[in-house]
Amino acid sequence: MEKNKELPKWFTQSGGVCYKSGDVVVNHLSGRSEELSNTELSMYDYIKGCELIAFQSNDATIIKNFNKAIQWFRSNNPEAYMTLLD
């Protein structure tokens, strides 16, 4: 699998970590899966982490970064976005 676009600067500045390899992710509600590149998987995990933290803390910065992460993921892999996050 090819590496996707580079992760945005705000991603690493906000604590995001870029994985060295991708993996298959399963939507546990639908059972459907998508193979993600290293950057997509990094952003996917960031999104899931933001979901947990943002909705518990209601932190405006985390919510802002969550929205940016969703937009990045949707733009870089719309099919995986629809399968895993929509």
Chain CA centroid to CA 17, Å: 11
Contact 7, 39 (CB under 8 A): yes
Helix (H) or strand (E) holding 50: helix 38-57
> Which tens digit of pLDDT belongs to each residue from 6-18?
899 999 999 999 9
Indicate the pLDDT class of residue 5, thresholds 50, 70 and 90: confident
Query: What gap in Å lies between CA 24 and CA 81, rounded to an integer?
Result: 13
Enumerate the domain spans of the chain.
Answer: 38-86
> What average pLDDT does the chain have?
91
What is the model's pLDDT at position 4? Answer: 53
Query: What gap in Å lies between CA 86 and CA 82, rounded to an integer?
Result: 5
Provide the whole-model pTM.
0.89
Indicate the pLDDT class of residue 29, thresholds 50, 70 and 90: very high
